[in-house]
Amino acid sequence: MKTLINSIVLLVAIVLLTSASPIENYPTKKSLEGSWELISFYSYENDQVIDTIFNSADYRQVKMYAGGKVMWSRKVPMDSIQWYGYGSYSNTDSTLTEVLEYGSASMMRILDTMRVFKFKLMIDTNSFSQITQDEFGNKIFSENYIRIK
């Protein structure tokens, strides 16, 4: 009887160990697909970072990219204005273009004059920066994100 119970326990253990899925890994290739959180802003002068502004604990901005679509939202403490937007995106290894279709009332005022946002893209497996450039291609400002999923 003990042998039968030990055999059953061993069999169950083997089944559980071989069928358990591994801990989900982050993507190994450079892709925007997924969820990202803004961690800081850079200001540039002569293409060099001259200032870094880190997010406060209360400020939160999240972007999600999936299947050619982008959605973002921003939580600003002590501000009743809502900020969010939705649209499509495309990217190469060095460029990001977002075309926003709709957003919050505050964002729609911006979308009335500009719907296409083009950025220089610097991407790694678990982080990316979208960099605004002037008409000569000089870096001006960036939003810096880390992957959260």
CATH number of 30-147: 2.40.128.490
Of the candidate ranges 39-48, 80-89, 129-138, the one whose mean pLDDT is the lowest: 80-89
Residue range 47-51: average pLDDT?
Answer: 94
Tokens 């800081």, residue? 40
Residue range 11-40: average pLDDT?
Answer: 63
pLDDT over 50 (residue 76): yes
Rounded CA-CA distance 69/137 in Å is 26
- pTM of the full structure: 0.76
Whole-number pLDDT of residue 20: 42
Rounded CA-CA distance 24/146 in Å is 17
> Which amino acid is it at 87?
G
Which of 8, 50, 74, 76 is closest to 140 using CA atoms? 50
Rounded CA-CA distance 103/84 in Å is 5
Instruction: Based on DSSP, count helices (H) and strands (E) in the chain, helices before strands.
Output: 2, 9
Q: What would the pLDDT profile of 123-149 be if each residue is shown by its tens digit?
A: 999 999 999 999 999 999 999 999 997
Q: What would the pLDDT profile of 116-126 be if each residue is shown by its tens digit?
A: 999 999 999 99
pLDDT over 70 (residue 35): yes
